[in-house]
Chain A
């Protein structure tokens, strides 16, 4: 990581925008492992309401709109893209104190992965000045020139570009929203840390990928995660490995493990039937075990995994399409497309954080 990024990262730490960097920031970042009573806390049993819950929840500390897509061109080459908008509250009270004194900060991440290369970029913005934000009807999530927008949540256009890559995709939902954990109340540790978490894993995607020397027409599947919380991690949790997989035959699997410094990992999983019926699995039902690592950006990153959900007869190997899918941004992490083989074949995305 070069000095520039380190600098930016430290600065942003100071500005407490850290929280947004990854889905599961390490607890050292901005004290996210600490309790913060002033922010709203997720409550079990509170029903989600739509379309309002597609929009921001400023009383919660962090929130994201997290989209990944596995794509393929006419020649059968596989690609992946990531598009993420993070929101982080600078203060518990949402009220800004005048122009440009927004209580909200926004961060965007975008990446494009091919078998040979990986490109990633980021955007920062303060809230309430028109540079970044999310509106519900019509739906628009935006930061600068990156946007996810459409008449409603089932029909969205996605776009993002960095200096050396870009993409434009049309997304059409072919199934219902799915809710993780207990009706969207997703427990993140034995101590009870939790978040609100739902997904739309049934998008059909179609569009173009851009590189400086070519444009590639692609089709594929996309998966959108929505999650918000105020204290997502226990103090001793150092990072996580997160799998979202499209199985052959139309079923889906979301599984993650939160690695702990002081004990075994905390795991959770949701099995999604082709019709959208979900089954949530408690800690221990799902397992993920590294099989091989690769040196990426000076770190040893597991790029081959054995995953298992015995209750559903799932036992297979997950392998990175491109082991170099490192997002060397202000908050660096690994995020890229993967292939599943074994009891089931499939494609999907893997995110790994906390490998310092």
Chain B
């Protein structure tokens, strides 16, 4: 009996392979997007953990210059001679190879602080002699193939984009000899004097929890990705839900017959559940494979984004993790269960002799629409509560999700209302039939249309956010990067030589000094700037300011803070803040996109009084644009500044914009994918609905409307519904953009962006969605046009 039952149930799929394909494809696509995002997240997290383990080393304390700056060899030696077990580190970046160099002293650094295999024997005496060696991750070695660098030794466990070298090698590569910091490798000798007596300007610091910081910073980015993945999965589930419901409804006669033949209902439900499970497993596995493909295509961009935005190194390649396979297949099964539960339940409760006619689409009508309406109201309520009663990133995402769901659930009612209004314009029986028939079809297409709504809204929302961000960001960059050249000197002596040399050759030299110091209780940075200079007054964009702000900053009476700090601690103009023990007032707030840290700007005189040990090594140079090339040559040839230490405005701008563009590549790609899934949903819904519409179309055909006319009307209907959905998606998308810009961004990054709207983009999107709907409707329409009249006549012959 079970075998017979199974055979009867499965025969459905043989007869309708396309429906099977729809189901598998929908589930696989949903799983693919979800697991692709998960794969990216997992890879990034693994990279952070690795970085935390490697960079922070064995959680060693460090000794650093309290006021910032490097530690001289003599200072390090003085510590060693006093019995302190400290090991020097040189840090720097080789811009032309995009490689971070970490120069270590293997004599004084414990071997377990050097990454590599357990025995640390990956390298040999060549590390210390001759040109030296650099230890890099295998993929970094790949990227550096042929580079003009010392021999590479591949060591697993070194973060990508980082090279370990002996200090001698690092000094030669970076052209610097001060130490960034010293690792404390062990307790000092018995009776060694305390640090403050040997070197009062140095201080001991707890290990940098670099990995943890990076993870926190990038959390929001990953949360964003996850939200997108979830959205895509939800869109995919709409397809699955539709396909399962359809398959169950169409098999009602079979169910009834099987039950009547004596198959217990538990067995029937069990068979169906097994069928769904198998489908879910197959589609899930397919989806995970697809997801892996998606992830491996996207991860280089993600890696670039994370490096650019947060300095977090993420491996650009993807490794397969068993947990990820399991979670992918698991979510496919869970999603199928969710989508099929209602259908299964109904089969279980089905009275044995209930009329076995397909009724899902026809009668899903009013009651379901009202239930969905109630759901929409509930979701809207949740969104309002999340938006107004709670703060934080999670509340922001709840608001986002609830708002989107509310909009999706309200769609059928809204469409119905919209169609009702439009149908009043109907003149003549044909038009009236068209409108009535369209309204009647909405429940059947509602799931696909909801998917379309979500995809369109996400597209509008994210598009608006990205474009707003781009416009704001480029404008801000133009203003903020006012100096033509930026130079970094290695030593105070070189800085002095530089300013002397530059004096007669430039319009203005703007020293930029900075120190890491706590601001309002968290680690931050304070910059000393020449606030008297018109360069700042004219160019530095302020988003809030008190009167005479620049005069007061220049006079050392007040400070500027960045938007992140202002928002986080409510430090708007007039508020009080303490910087290194100096109580002062906030006179203005500036935008500081891309910076995760709180920051304050202090007039240069006041800064020097606050941090006397800090030396000015960074300079902005104002010079006529056509003189920059000559000036760069002069600085490198005559003052001996390394070319890497000079940046010109144009290349900084290009670099920043490059980071920005890459940041949203992933978002854009996911956007397109989501839209494609929605298109697929429409296609499959239309195809399945089409097969059931014969009874409705046959009478119209019999009354004299040609098949071609009917096909045209079908096409028109799909486009009309898509257009209506787009009109409804637009406000939802703008709401989404507002949530992203005004809630999520503020919570995640600490800055608020002005929202700009781009109607031309919408127009393009509208066109795209109409074309997608038309394309989706084309196949069913062509089929209808070619349907043999005999088939239409059959409707009258064997009416159930």
Contacts and interface: CB of A to CB of B under 8 A. Distances in A.
A326 interface: no
Interface string B178-207: 000000001111111000000000000000
B80 A124 contact: no
B262 interface: no
B129 A91 contact: yes
Nearest to B90: A100
A145 B81 contact: yes
A263 B80 CA distance: 46
Given A4-B110, A14-B125, A145-B189, 16 more contacts: A4-B112, A10-B119, A11-B119, A12-B111, A97-B130, A100-B166, A101-B168, A124-B108, A125-B108, A131-B77, A144-B80, A144-B83, A161-B83, A161-B189, A162-B189, A162-B190
B48 interface: no
30 contacts: A4-B112, A6-B119, A8-B110, A10-B120, A10-B121, A11-B111, A11-B114, A11-B121, A13-B121, A14-B121, A15-B106, A15-B125, A15-B127, A15-B128, A16-B124, A90-B129, A99-B168, A101-B128, A103-B129, A130-B73, A130-B77, A144-B80, A144-B83, A161-B190, A161-B191, A161-B192, A165-B190, A166-B190, A166-B191, A210-B191
Contacts of A145: 80-83, 189, 192
A194 B168 CA distance: 34
A45 interface: no
A4 B58 CA distance: 12
Contacts of A12: 111
Interface string B101-129: 00001111011101000111101110111
A100 B170 CA distance: 10
Contacts of B108: 124-125
A3 B118 CA distance: 9
A164 to B, nearest CB: 6
Interface of A: 3-4, 6-8, 10-16, 90-91, 97-101, 103, 105, 124-126, 129-131, 144-145, 161-166, 210-212
B129 A101 contact: yes
B189 A126 contact: no
A125 B86 CA distance: 12
Given A145-B189, A163-B189, A99 B177 contact: yes
Contacts of B192: 145, 161
A10 B107 CA distance: 13
B662 interface: no
Contact of B125 (A3, A16, A125, A166): A16
A165 B192 CA distance: 11
A164 B121 contact: no
B65 interface: no
For the complex of A and B, 7 pairs with smallest distance between CB atoms:
A100-B168, A161-B189, A124-B107, A163-B187, A145-B83, A11-B111, A7-B111
A8 B111 contact: yes
A14 B118 contact: no
B118 A7 contact: yes
Contacts of A212: 190
Nearest to B77: A130
B465 to A, nearest CB: 50
B107 A125 contact: yes
Given A11-B114, A145-B83, A98 B125 contact: no
Contact of A129 (B73, B81, B128, B188): B73
A16 B127 CA distance: 11
Given A90-B129, A161-B192, A164-B190, A100 B171 contact: yes
Contacts of A3: 118
Given A145-B82, A165-B190, A210-B191, A7 B120 contact: yes
Task: Count chain B CB atoms within 10 A of each CB in A11, A129, A164 and give the residue with the most.
Answer: A11
Nearest to A165: B190
A131 B80 contact: yes
Contacts of B455: none
Contacts of A210: 190-191
Most central of B83, B105, B107, B110 by chain A CB within 10 Å: B107
Q: Which of B119, B128, B171, B188 is the most central at the interface, judged by chain A CB atoms within 10 Å of its CB? A: B128
Contacts of A4: 110-112
A103 B125 CA distance: 11
B792 to A, nearest CB: 82
Contacts of B127: 14-15
- Determine which residue in A15, A90, A129 has the highest number of CB atoms from chain B within 10 A of its CB, and name it: A15
B426 interface: no
A100 B77 CA distance: 13
Residue from the set B128, B177, B189 with the largest chain A CB neighbour count within 10 Å: B189
Contacts of B149: none
A15 B132 CA distance: 12
A15 B119 CA distance: 13
A98 B114 CA distance: 24
Given A99-B171, A145-B81, A14 B123 contact: yes
Contacts of B107: 105, 124-126
Nearest to B167: A100
A210 to B, nearest CB: 6
Interface string B65-88: 000000001100100111100000
A3 B81 CA distance: 28
B172 interface: yes
Contacts of A100: 166-168, 171
B194 to A, nearest CB: 14
Given A98-B172, A163-B189, A212-B190, A126 B73 contact: no
A262 B94 CA distance: 55
A301 B287 CA distance: 64
Nearest to B189: A161
Contact of A15 (B77, B124, B167, B187): B124
